[in-house]
Amino acid sequence: MTATTPDYGLRARLHRLARGSVVLAIALSSCGLAVSSSAVGATESDDEAAVVLHVAAGVHGTVAPGSATTASLTVQNDSTTRLSSGRIVLEVSRTPLADDAAVDSWLSDDEASGSFDEIGADTTAPVDPEGTVTSSLFIPPEALADLGPGVYPLRASLSGAQSDGADAVTSTSVLIVTDVAASPVAVMVPITATPESGALLTADELATLTGTDGDLTAVLEGVAGTAAVLAIDPAIPAAIRVLGSSAPETAREWLLQLDELPNERFALQFGDADAQAQAQAGMPDLLQPTSLAPFLNPADFTSAPAGPGGPDATASPTPTPTDGPVLPTDEQLTTIEKAAPGILWPRSDVSIENLATFSTYVDGPSTTVLSSTSVEATAGARATIDGRDVLVSDAAASEALSDAAGEDDQAARQSSLAEANAHLYLSGHANAFAPLLVALDRDETRSDEALRESITAVDSLGFGLGALEVSPAAPATLTSDADEARAASLRTMLDSEPTLTQFATILDDPQLLLSPTRMQILRATGVGLSDNAFATAVASVHEATQDTLDAVDIPPASTIQLLSANADLPFSVRNDLPWPVNIRLSVYPSDARLDVEPVTPWTVQAGTTARVKVPVSARVGSGEVSLRLELSSPTGVPISQPETVRVAVRAEWETIGLVVFGGLIVLLLGLGIIRTVTRKRREAAEVTDAEAEAAGEQDAEAPVAPHKEPNE
């Protein structure tokens, strides 16, 4: 984000925010329009205006000398009662505003020297509650005939309208009477997109951003047909290219359209990381992602990469039966087609030493884009500072144009466009019509309409990087101081990388962890982050690092009862990472009463808690032993904090149990035998009794033979 000074920065921004909620309906005349700042009723509260007045005149605030124009007057009634008709008087001061500070003072505080003359008046129609009424006011050429080239205060006043006691409303704007000569203006537009994860944009995020109503789509449509210089975050094309054939169709089409645009362009650092923080932190080279390979899926690449831009997912497959598909390199994934080399766009709070370091960061000559708030004695967009080539953006115009490009309401947008043109007019006069540069801030949610209108309102068609490079370079002096705070925070984030590198040895591919972390660090130093957002991003990196280091550990366990001399004791190991981890569980008993397997390797699946079984043997019958449990990676790097588990050894219970169990078996067997013998005897007795009974019955039933005497 372009830096600003208090004279035309914060105060002007607050003023624009106060008037930004106002809706302005503008009737476009043949001369075009420009919206004023908001105005408030004399008796309104400080928090919200009940009645708001807007005035717009000229083409984005500009008018040719001695010509007629049209002013658009809009009354907005935000109260709950009907606003009666009133009278609007339009006035202009014949004393021009001398510089940027005077413009800011007028738009912010309604303060300007000289008297005001009426140049037109109109009667407004009644306005319903929460309604708006717009009227056009013709301004004849004689009303502006005596105004020479310059920037003039413009004021509209509403009186006579009654609503909740608010009957006096004013609005301020500027009227720019142009010269025939004008400074050529180049507009620099950053193209960035921040993923939710802080690493790379996902397929779903890309589908949304590059869809019909997506923010990235709006950027391309907004810059199409303009001479805007594009500053592109290489993380965007990288996120599309790593997906190969699985990338959303809209994302691949977006990348093709970007490549086909004729606009001049250069690459930002990956994630729009700040080169100033890196230089101040003593980095010998610009930080880069450690590797993009973890984001590649070989199944999405059925053909070799097509040139420096990356893989061509639609090309005919190239058979690679042995080695598989040829995957693109990091350079191919991050290449910006047709990008001009050697340009850095850091935050503007740099030092002379930083500029010298920047020259070592690029191959060949380097050019640094800075804000005019960091430079003294400039004469246009190109300067040299201590022999270093610098492009200087007009801070006041950049801020106003950034506000306009971020304003969705077409009417409200005009106020910032008029202000931007006023600052550019004054800068052009102050620098003998030398080329000027306007650099939009990092805003990822602009509409195509707002962006296109903002660019075309100020830029000179065909004027871009090439024209700036051949324009004369004026010597300048650097007035900014290096930001030590961001450099210190960057060093603390980088200090955690060695620890994470050791921790990542539990993974089959350590880059699965290290690559996203480096990207998060790069994005945490993003140029467009405010101080609060930067602090939040740094805190998030530290929190994510600690969460990662705590993701694998041994949960606390209660006392384990060991009831046998030999057993496998289960110990829990938790893995909250999204990847399987390879660990070694080391167990150290407090004394020799237990023999323990000292090291047990194990693989714990992603997002699970595994039970690692460790063989143990008891040397004594009973007692308590403490086991110290330690986790390490396969390379011996300690993981998490050690845990201690108490084991109650009751090995003699096994013998007692066997004796009791054996006795029970003998008793049961004896009882079984006795029962069997008893049953057999009973059955035999029953058989004998049955046979005897049967024999007796037979004897009783047999016939008796007649008795004969012997002599017979």
Does 382 score more than 90 pLDDT? Answer: yes
Residues 225 and 460 sit within 8 Å (Cβ to Cβ): no
- Model confidence at 72, pLDDT cuts 50, 70, 90, reads confident
Residue with the larger pLDDT of the pair 227 and 432? 227
Mean pLDDT for the stretch of residues 93-99: 94
| Residue 535 pLDDT greater than 90, yes or no | yes
Name the helix (H) or strand (E) containing 677. helix 652-701
pTM above 0.75, yes or no: yes
Q: What is the mean pLDDT of the chain?
A: 85
Cα four-point dihedral sign 694, 698, 699, 701: positive
Q: How many CA atoms lie within 13 A of 5 on its CB side?
A: 17
3-state secondary structure of 595: strand
Strand, helix or coil for residue 512: helix
Pair of tokens at residue 589: 């008993």
Structure tokens at 19: 């008037």
In this predicted model, what pLDDT tens digit does every residue of 635-659 receive, in sequence order?
A: 999 999 999 999 887 755 455 455 5
Q: What is the pLDDT at residue 7?
A: 37
Average pLDDT of 622-631? Answer: 88
pLDDT digits 0-9 by tens, 463-502: 999 999 889 999 999 998 888 999 999 999 999 999 999 9
The region of weakest confidence among 6-10, 322-326, 389-393, 615-619 is 6-10
Single-letter code of the amino acid located at 434: A
What is the 3-state secondary structure of 36-99?
Answer: CCCCCECCCCCCCCCEEEEEEECECCEECCCCCEEEEEEEEECCCCCECCCEEEEEEECCCCCC
- Strand 131-139 relative to strand 69-77: parallel, antiparallel, unpaired? antiparallel
Confidence at 119, pLDDT banded by 50, 70, 90? very high
* Cα-based angle 368, 272, 397 (whole degrees, multiple of 5): 55
**Higher per-residue pLDDT: 182 or 710:** 182
**Spatial distance between the Cα atoms of 641 and 646, rounded to a whole number of angstroms:** 17
Residue 218's pLDDT is 97
Spatial separation of the C-alpha atoms in residues 127 and 23, rounded to whole Å: 14
Instruction: Encode pLDDT of 667-711 as tens digits.
Output: 788 787 888 888 777 777 777 777 777 776 666 665 555 555 555
Which pair of structure tokens corresponds to residue 71?
Answer: 């002013």
Is the pLDDT reported for residue 304 higher than 90?
A: no
Is the per-residue pLDDT at 370 higher than 90? yes
Whether residue 479 contacts residue 374, with contact meaning beta carbons closer than 8 Å, is answered with yes
Query: What 8-state DSSP symbol labels residue 505?
Result: G
Over range 127-146, report the average pLDDT. 90
Contacts of 680 (CB under 8 A, 6+ apart): none
Q: What is the pLDDT of residue 315?
A: 40
Residue 1: closest CA among 439, 453, 404, 380 = 439
Tell me which residue of 117, 113, 118 sits closest to 95, measured CA to CA: 113
What is the arithmetic mean of pLDDT over 402-418? Answer: 87
Residue 560: what pLDDT? Answer: 82
pLDDT in tens, 23-34: 333 333 333 333
